Each structure stands twice: as C-alpha cells, then as structure tokens.
Amino acid sequence: MISEPIILLLMLGMFALGVFVFKIPAGVSLMMAAVIGALAGGEGLAIRHLVEGGFGFMEAILIIATAMIFMKIAEKTGVLSTISYWMIKKLYRWPALLFIVIGIFIMFPGMLTGLSSACILTTGALVIPALLAMGMPKIAAGSFIALLAVLGEIAPPICIPVMIIGGGVDMPYIGFGWPLFIASVPLAIIISLIFRYKYMHDFEIDVVLDKLPKPVFKKHGIKLFVPVIFVIGYLVLENTIPEHVFHLGVPLIFMIGAILGLWTGERFKVIPTVRSAIRTAMPVISILVGVGMFLQILTLTGVRGWISVYSLRLPEEIKYLAAFIMPFFGSAYAAASVIGVPLVYVFSTKNAIVVTAALSLMASVGDLMPPPSMLFAYAAQMIKEKNHFKLLRFSFVFIGMILIVGLLIIIFAKPIANLIF
C-alpha cells in the first residue's frame, strides 16, 4: 500500500496540474484529486465515499444558492440601488465617513452569502460609476471593490471558508462572530480611509448622482425594504436569542426574503433572475462538492490522521510560513480545504476559533491571486480595463497588509480569545 505522504502528494499534484496546467476549474480539479487519492490508497473508485463527501457541505451549498437568489432579487427590485443613491447623497459632505460606509456596503452581499463574487457583481457594480465620477483613478476603483469583496467574504454572519475548515476538523460553526468581525471590519475601515485620502479628489455631487441608478422609494414606499429587513432581522434574532424565535435555518430565511421581494419593488422576470443567480453561484458550489470529496478521501486513506500527527511536530517558524502559502491556491475555498484544515492542527496550542478566522482571512486572498485572479477579472470588466493584472500589481501592498493582519491574529490568538470570549 502507498504511504500517506505519497497519497497526499499525488492528490496535491493532481489538483495543481488541473488548475495551473490544464486550466480545469478548481472544483473539478479537487474531484479528480479525490479520485486519484482513492485509487492510490487502494480503495478503488470509492464511489460511496465520493458521493458522501460531495454532500458533506450541503448546508453551505444551500446557503450560497439561496443567498445568491435573494441578492439577485434585491438587486432587481431596486432596493440596493436606492440604498447606494441615498448613501452618497446624504454622506458626501463627510468623505471619510462616506468611504467607510461605501466599503461596508460593498461587503454587504458577502456578509450574507459568503461569496466574494457576489460583492463585485451587485454592490460593487453599483458604486463603481460613483467612484469614477468622484475622480478616483479606474485602477484604484477596481482594486478597491475587489479588496472589499474579499473582506466581505470573511465578515460575519456567513463565512464559507470557516465552514470548510470547520467541516474538516469537526468544529461547529458557533462563536465565530467576533473573531470574523475583528479579522475583517477594522481592515475594511483602514483600506477605505487609505483610498479616500490617497485617491479621491473634490467632486460635484450632482455629477456623481447622475451616474447612479435612480432610487425607487417614492414609487414603492417602505415595503421596498421589507425583504432586507426581514432577512437581516431574522438572522440577528436566530444568532442572539435563538430560544425566543422559531428556528427557520439560514437557507429558508433567504428564500422567504426572496419570495417577499417578488411583490415589494420593481417588476422583473423571476425565472431568468433565479437562473442567473444559480449560474453565478455554480463555480463555488462545484468547489464545495470537490472539497467534500477531497476531505472524505483524505480521511478514508488515513492521510488526514497523518497530517494531524505530523503537523504537531513542525518547527514554530515553518508553521507560520505555511500560512502564507494559502493564497497561492487561486481560490479561498480550495486553500481553506487543502491547507486550512491541517493548519488548524498545526496551531492546536492556540484558540481554534480565532485561528480558523485568521486562516480564513488569509485563504480569502486566494480569490485575488493568479492564475484566475477572479475578483480582479470581474473588477477589470467593470472599469473597462483589458489587463486585470494591472489591478493585481496595484494591490500588492494591500494584499500584504491583509496577510500580515491574519498572521498577527494567529500569533496573538490567545489574548484575542481572552478579550472577546
């Protein structure tokens, strides 16, 4: 029988070949790596385990699908464009505060869906015209929304990388609110202020507002906000006083919010909107299916146990260096599953919840990195820039800042845990 380290190398090699050489989507590459691992471990095709692993993250998949449907419907009803218009109109006299609020607004879809791409495609797309009209250089504007999208993916209440790592180490998704807040929101405020003072110039508010979609509040009244109020309100209630509210579950909350949106704002075609939402979420869903298969085969072949034991023997310096490898997997979800899971064992002497939040922050940078550079590619399309690697080069300092903050949170995980718990 092939030893555990060789099986792991074969699986990682298959994943790397698929993503970097043959340009196969990360989800499919993870599935192929799982099959190679099962064959190398003498388990044959292990169909039962592959199917079981594929359903391992069903809750996260349902959250992503339903949340994306809700966000697309919220976009179509006009509630997001109305919020964007009001936000800029009311806060333009205080540019620093305005940029902080714009940053949180960009992050909002990621907070609810766990998807960085949702931030780019919805709220990011809404604020890009305003940023350009304010005089921000187009490369800076594209970088800004991409960086905030990454932080939105990590911000509470929904964080898919944490769910992936937690699923790999049998850690329930409980108690992550404050650690994720510390890992994301202060960074978002700092980055927003840097962009405000370095790249934004004086602007005419009327010119900026002309670039934005017009609000539809006068047409629909307060009912326009009912779906958003319901979803945010019920998510908060379920997480703060669960004993006093009827438990619906996150996917059902999003679906009820989406259904409410059918009658609260602008009219739209339901089927094409839902189809577009699922199409947007499908790449991430395929990664989660692949991650589940990958982790299941790691467990089946004994590789996961070997990683757990061997990780504890690593020198202290190597432990921290390993965390910097995470972004180079080109996807937050692939990085969280392949490197994030063993690193929780590596830092087992620290608070696991805080460490997992920090590792998720560092893994999220993978959505910015080549070869796909997914978020920069989306942002480049919105600013009409053909070479999205210009955004990557522009953002190196901010990417380094995010990674350093993640590393510092890991180093000081115990004091942070004592403070927030």
What would the pLDDT profile of 363-378 be if each residue is shown by its tens digit?
A: 999 889 876 677 888 8
> If you search the block for the tokens 């979800």, which residue do you land on?
333
User: Model confidence at 306, in pLDDT bands (50, 70, 90)?
Assistant: confident
Between CA 398 and CA 409 the distance in angstroms is: 17
For residue 311, is pLDDT > 70? no
For residue 202, is pLDDT > 90? no
In the chain, the largest separation of any two C-alpha atoms, in whole Å, equals 71
User: Model confidence at 421, in pLDDT bands (50, 70, 90)?
Assistant: confident
What single-letter amino acid sits at 380? A
pTM: 0.82
**Range of the structural domain that residue 390 is part of:** 4-420
Give the torsion through C-alpha atoms of 15, 16, 17, 20, to 10 deg. 130
How many domains is the chain partitioned into structurally?
A: 1
Give Cα separations from 17 to 24, 41, 297 (angstroms). Answer: 9, 20, 19
Give the per-residue pLDDT at 304: 77
* 374, 340 contact by CB (below 8 A): no
Mean pLDDT of 142-156: 95
* 333, 160 contact by CB (below 8 A): yes
Helix (H, G, I), strand (E, B) or coil at 137: coil
Between CA 84 and CA 78 the distance in angstroms is: 10
- 369-407 pLDDT, tens digit each: 876 677 888 888 888 888 888 999 999 999 999 999 999
* 372, 121 contact by CB (below 8 A): no
